[in-house]
A and B are shown apart, each in its own frame.
Chain A
């Protein structure tokens, strides 16, 4: 009964979404206040019924209702309750439902918080969000119904994909989706602007906090995914340039460019059509990511639902939403001319560079991700593009970007005088260089060109970011959220750079075969296999090893890597044993039983790797601080042309 209620709620949600889209757009076009009100009520209706559907599916999991196909396929009576709830979004159908729920949440938030917008504009935004909801609900109901019954009911469920039975991965999808879907707000704002054909700085001011919020979630989501891959996949890698990772990273790059370009549009009324295009692109890339993951056009380790019928549906949906927005853009954007000028040394130039480098990296990553598809479609053979390509095309634009970032932060709009800052910036650069050389030589015993460049840039960005709040505090000036957020986020970029440079330059990985009692040494650390034992889990059995790590005879820790075999079958899973440290991680993963009491182990020394995720969190924190700036809250009332007090604020 509960699953039928869920299914019915989904149908009702679709009807509400249709009402939301129709009354929202038609009401705005015909100036009918009653219709616009109806559209807003429909948002609430849609949200309520999606929530009911979601609750029904969650209940079916909690209740172990194996007469529901999706529940029987993705859970098991032995699965702990926490994972049974997380299993709701553990596969295709349920993750779409989660997507729909998140979209309804964003729509509700926009509707509730946009009372100060012009009624027609607000109504159009809500209508466009309704169109997107229609697409997802139709997709669910026609090709991916999570409430489909299994007749006869299964006695016992299969299990949730063991890879997903992990804390980070249970919270990863909701956060990632909050980011993906959050860009739909900027998208809807952009489309509504294009429909009306006029763009003022209020538009940019309105879009900024929403974009920052979505971008914040996406940043955390990506970092979580990377962290998970590091300790769960057993290879000790933190980024693989897998199509699905790229699918989340490309909207992030577009969103990052958008945040910066929105600042210019808001403050100076420049880059108008470019900003609109970025707003359309960020969400389009999110949808594209969904298409790539769900349709099976690209083979990936992550692609857990591949079905051509679903692929075709998403492709048609994608064409309507993105194609429609881009045609609207082609029609309206020529009318949005920006008239103001600026000097080369002004902040506008630096943001232009920022956008050019970010978009270049984005375009090359998109090309690399889709290249195998192009080759295949042109009958030129199946090929795959590997990490060397992606590392190169990402690093090349990032190096100048980091260099410019350290200067650009200190510039002002329209024209800048860098002269007074020159000495201090040169000082930071010199200190960065000295630390990089000395620390590189002292800690890692050698000076490598690429590592030195990376460390210098990291320290340069960190130092330059610190300078901003320090200078303000010393001068007794206020420190608005936007300025602090910018400094924190950019400091985080430096921290990420530090981590990437450290781990990529100085990591040591070694595969060894050890019997109990044997030891291997990497980077001065002795890894001794002291015991092997069988450990039972709730729905798996594991072999666990004790690996005693010591240095110069002094015990540091004992790692407990596991090899798990889930009762549901499938490949064994690696739970790495990791000793976390500020300077380095020590990592041991259990490989294969080689027979004769010997096991293969992968031992790794990962310097500075923690800073990658720490930096990512700082980046997200910076986004949060900037988004909560008071300016956005009072912006609702006033309609200032150019706010001089915060004119130097990004």
Chain B
């Protein structure tokens, strides 16, 4: 008899489980969507260099080796926050990092690099954000890891930290270095 009655509890129990999932879901950031670029070829670009409009920089510069693309701007607080980490990564000298200066002013951006230090081997200047759209950028900072085969391996949305670098980037980097 009791067993029979327990049947009627099933909807309530299922609903309880659902509420649990919803609660966890609420703590998550819905914007944290895996980039559809992952595993696909990096969108090619060739842009003016931030430092010298006559110089073109782009994806072709890194053909055959892994590299990083960091999207930044002087108006972006998170970029300032992660700058120290980027400098550290640059000092490791393991993988070249290109900057994509996004919707910014050239003079301000150059001043920023002069003041805070320059972690980038080159910086592409994208004042209208056209290239950033191709890369699916919807906020700065974002950091992409591109493999030796030219495929996007990882995308970090938001501030880069040493932990994230060690946890998410280094293993992928080691794997792609081994492959090439």
Contacts of B12 in A (CB 8 A): 323, 326-327, 329-330
Contact A382 B34 (CB under 8 A): yes
- Find chain B residues with CB under 8 A from A299 CB: 30-31, 33
Q: Which of B16-24, B104-112, B120-128 contacts A (4 or more CB under 8 A)?
A: B16-24
| Size bracket, chain B contacts | 20 to 34
**A32 at the A/B interface (Cβ < 8 Å)?**
no
Q: Quick one: which of B70-122 are within 8 Å of A by CB?
A: none
Given contacts A318-B19, A323-B16, contact A377 B11 (CB under 8 A): no
- B5 on the A face (CB < 8 A): yes
* Leading 5 A-B pairs by shortest Cβ distance: A326-B12, A377-B24, A297-B25, A334-B5, A330-B9
Whether the Cβ atoms of A376 and B11 lie closer than 8 Å is no
Stretch in contact with the other chain, from A306-314, A342-350, A585-593 = A306-314
Contact across chains for A277 and B11 when beta carbons are under 8 A apart: yes
Q: Which of B1-42 contact A (CB under 8 A)?
A: 4-5, 7-9, 11-12, 15-16, 18-19, 21-28, 30-34
Q: Are B24 and A330 in contact (CB under 8 A)?
A: no
A selection of 24 A-B contacts at a CB cut-off of 8 Å is A280-B11, A284-B15, A291-B22, A297-B22, A298-B30, A299-B31, A299-B33, A315-B22, A315-B26, A318-B19, A318-B22, A319-B19, A323-B15, A323-B19, A326-B11, A327-B12, A329-B8, A329-B11, A334-B4, A334-B8, A373-B22, A373-B25, A376-B25, A377-B21
Question: B29 → chain A, closest Cβ, in Å?
Answer: 9
* Count of interface residues, chain A, beta-carbon cutoff 8 Å: 33
Q: Closest Cβ of chain B: how far from A99's Cβ, in Å? A: 20
Residues 266-289 of chain A, each 1 if its beta carbon lies under 8 Å from chain B, else 0: 000000010001001100100000
A370 at the interface (CB under 8 A from B): yes
Q: Shortest distance in angstroms between B16's beta carbon and chain A's nearest beta carbon?
A: 7
Encoded as 1 (CB less than 8 Å from any B CB) or 0, chain A from 393 to 429 comes to 0000000000000000000000000000000000000
Chain A 340-389 interface residues, beta-carbon cutoff 8 Å to B: 370, 373-374, 376-377, 381-382
A382–B33 touching, CB < 8 Å:
yes
Interface of B is mostly: helix
Q: Name the A residues within 8 Å of B31 (CB-CB).
A: 299
- The answer to whether B8 and A330 touch across the interface, beta carbons within 8 angstroms, is yes
Query: What B residues does A311 contact at CB under 8 A?
Result: 26
Given the complex of chains A and B, what is the CA–CA distance between A299 and B30 in angstroms?
6
For the complex, what is the distance from the CA of A381 to the CA of B38, rounded to whole Å? 13
**Residue on B with the closest CB to A324?**
B12
Neighbouring B residues of A273 by C-beta, 8 Å: 8
Residues of A within 8 A of B30 (CB): 296-299, 306
Bound CA span A467–B81, Å: 74
List residues of chain A with CB within 8 A of the CB of B11: 277, 280-281, 326, 329-330
- Closest B residue to A335 by beta carbon equals B5
CA distance A298 to B31 in the complex (A): 10
Closest A residue to B28 by CB, please name it: A376
| Cα(A277)–Cα(B7), bound, Å | 12
Taking A326-B15, A377-B24 as given, write out 16 further A-B residue pairs in contact, using a Cβ cutoff of 8 Å, ordered by the A residue number. A273-B8, A295-B22, A297-B22, A299-B30, A299-B31, A299-B33, A315-B19, A318-B19, A318-B22, A322-B15, A323-B12, A334-B7, A334-B8, A373-B22, A373-B25, A382-B34
Q: Which residues of B contact A315 (CB under 8 A)?
A: 19, 22-23, 26
Query: With an 8 A cutoff between CB atoms, is A72 at the interface?
Result: no
**Complex: A467 Cα to B27 Cα, angstroms:** 55
Q: Could you say which residues of chain A place their CB within 8 Å of the CB of B24?
A: 377
Give CA–CA (A273, B7) in the complex, Å. Answer: 11
Instruction: Write out the residue numbers on chain A whose beta carbons fall within 8 Å of the beta carbon of B7.
Output: 334
Complex CA distance for A329 and B34, rounded to whole angstroms = 41
Instruction: Say yes or no: B18 contacts A382, CB within 8 Å.
Output: no
Which chain A residue shows the least CB distance to B4? A334
B23 proximity list for chain A (CB < 8 A): 315
Check A308 against B34 for contact (C-beta < 8 Å).
Answer: no
Q: A318-B19, A370-B21 are in contact. Are A297 and B26 (CB under 8 A)?
A: yes
Q: How far is the CA of A258 from the CA of B31 in the complex (A)?
A: 37
Q: Is A488 an interface residue (CB 8 A)?
A: no
| Neighbouring A residues of B34 by C-beta, 8 Å | 381-382
A333 in contact (CB, < 8 A): yes
Contact of A377 among B15, B16, B28 (CB under 8 A): B28
Q: How far is the CA of A334 from the CA of B18 in the complex (A)?
A: 23
In the complex, which residues of chain A have a beta carbon less than 8 angstroms from the beta carbon of B26? 295, 297, 308, 311-312, 315
Instruction: Give Cα A296 to B25, complex, Å.
Output: 9
Bound CA span A312–B156, Å: 27
Query: Within the complex, what minimum Cβ distance (angstroms) separates A367 from chain B?
Result: 11
**Residues of chain A contacted by B19 (CB below 8 angstroms):** 315, 318-319, 323
Distance, CA A329 to CA B9, complexed state (A): 8
Q: What residues on B are CB-neighbors of A306 within 8 Å?
A: 30
B138 to chain A, nearest CB (A): 12
Q: Which residues of B contact A322 (CB under 8 A)?
A: 15
Closest chain B residue, CB of each to CB of A336: B8
Q: Would A374 and B16 be within 8 Å (CB), given that A273-B8, A297-B26, A381-B34 are in contact?
A: no
By a CB distance below 8 angstroms, the chain B residues around A330 are 5, 8-9, 11-12
A312 / chain B contacts, CB cutoff of 8 Å: 26
Chain B residues in 8 Å Cβ range of A277: 11
Q: How far is the CB of A570 from chain B (nearest CB, A)?
A: 15
- Minimum CB–CB distance from B22 to chain A (whole Å) comes to 5
Q: Do residues B15 and A333 form an inter-chain contact, with CB atoms below 8 A?
A: no
Chain A residues with CB below 8 A from B9, complex form: 330
Residues of B near A281 (CB, < 8 A) are 11
Question: In the bound complex, how far is the Cα of B11 from the Cα of A277, in angstroms?
Answer: 9
Q: Which residues of B contact A280 (CB under 8 A)?
A: 11
A374-B18 Cα distance, complex, nearest whole Å: 9
Q: Is the CB of B21 within 8 A of A373?
A: yes
| Chain B: CB-nearest residue to A327 | B12
- Bound-state Cα–Cα, A306 to B29, Å: 11
With A296-B30, A323-B15: A333-B21 Cβ-Cβ less than 8 Å: no
CA distance A327 to B32 in the complex (A): 36
Q: How far is the CA of A326 from the CA of B19 in the complex (A)?
A: 13
Closest B residue to A366 by CB, please name it: B18
Indicate if the CB atoms of A377 and B8 lie closer than 8 Å. Answer: no
Chain A residue at minimal CB-CB distance from B32: A382
With contact pairs A315-B23, A376-B28, A382-B34 given, residues A333 and B8 touching in the complex (Cβ less than 8 Å):
yes
Considering the chains assembled together, what is the distance between the CA atoms of A319 and B15 in angstroms?
8
**Shortest beta-carbon distance from B157 to chain A in Å:** 12
**What separation, in Å, do the CA atoms of A295 and B22 have in the docked complex?**
10
The interface bits of chain B over 114-155 (1 if a CB of A lies within 8 angstroms of the residue's CB, else 0) are 000000000000000000000000000000000000000000
CB distance from B103 to the nearest CB of A (A): 15
Residue in B21, B25, B32 with the greatest tally of chain A CB atoms within 10 Å: B25
Inside 8 A of B32's CB, which chain A residues have their CB? 382
- The CA-CA distance from A323 to B19 in the complex, in Å, is 9
* Shortest CB distance A74–B (Å): 22
Q: How far is the CB of A191 from chain B (nearest CB, A)?
A: 14
A333 to B21, CA, bound (A): 27
